[in-house]
Amino acid sequence: MASGTAEPQEFLPALRFRRLTPYFDHVVRLTMREATFKRRLLDGLALQPGERVLDVGAGTATLAIELKRRTPGATVVGLDADPDVLALGRAKAAQAGCEVELVEGLSNALPFPDASFDAVVSTLFFHHLDGEAKRTTLRQVRRVLRPGGRLHVGDFTRPADPLQAALNFPVRVFDGFAVTADNVSGGLPHLFAAAGLEDVRERDRLRTAMGTLALWSARRR
């Protein structure tokens, strides 16, 4: 493994309890306007044939599969620490006839060489990480990006109004108030910049049944 890694951290299953993992896709689809926000994120990414893209916190590989469908000539790699969701993802990819590589590993110790990806994507993942894990993960993302490589993230941000704050409250209870603090304060873009990424931009914002979601992009110089 390349340098710049940190001590790996423990992980929780996607819905905290393993018995709920089979319902993960249904929950996201019903509550997060999944098709809309992932389409907009991938439109902004504009992945090209021949590029390598890493999906950090790939879960059941919904985004990785769509990346491959959109750009068959790209190499798509998904990473997640949960072997159960990866098993679901591999089954989905096989059923879809999509060749995606799904790797078990932790985001704060990415098992990939320096400058090995043209793009990194991540959706609904950073709000699960505590502050230090967010910072370490972003340093790892910068490390594996090639010069000029881009990062595209979709995740919770500062609620747009009191109703969105109330809808997001169960997420904060579920994942922890300290863990989600950087998201609800609107602080994720500052963490991107602190990790050495540039041209940090909020590209879009959506209201969902679980709170306000933002789409951001950034680049490695």
Residue 14 falls within a domain, yes or no? no
Residue 215 falls within a domain, yes or no? yes
136 is written with which tokens? 């370490």
**Which regions of the chain are under pLDDT 70?**
1-24
Residue 20 falls within a domain, yes or no? no
Tens-place pLDDT, residues 76-113: 999 999 999 999 999 999 999 999 999 999 999 999 99
Q: Which runs of consecutive H residues, i.e. helices, occur in 109-180?
A: 131-144, 162-175
Beta bridge partners of 121: 55, 152
Residue 15 falls within a domain, yes or no? no
Domain total in the chain: 1
Residue 77 falls within a domain, yes or no? yes
**Residue-range definition of the domain harbouring residue 128:** 31-219
Give every CB contact of residue 94 below 8 A, 6+ residues apart in sequence: none
Backbone angles phi, psi at 162, to 5 degrees: -60, -35
Residue 17 falls within a domain, yes or no? no
Looking up residue 109, the CATH number of its domain turns out to be 3.40.50.150
pTM (two decimals): 0.91
Residue 191 falls within a domain, yes or no? yes
Tens-place pLDDT, residues 185-205: 999 999 999 999 999 999 999
- Alpha-carbon gap, residue 61 to 38, rounded angstroms: 12
Contact criterion met (CB below 8 Å) for 64 and 123:
no
Residue 24 falls within a domain, yes or no? no
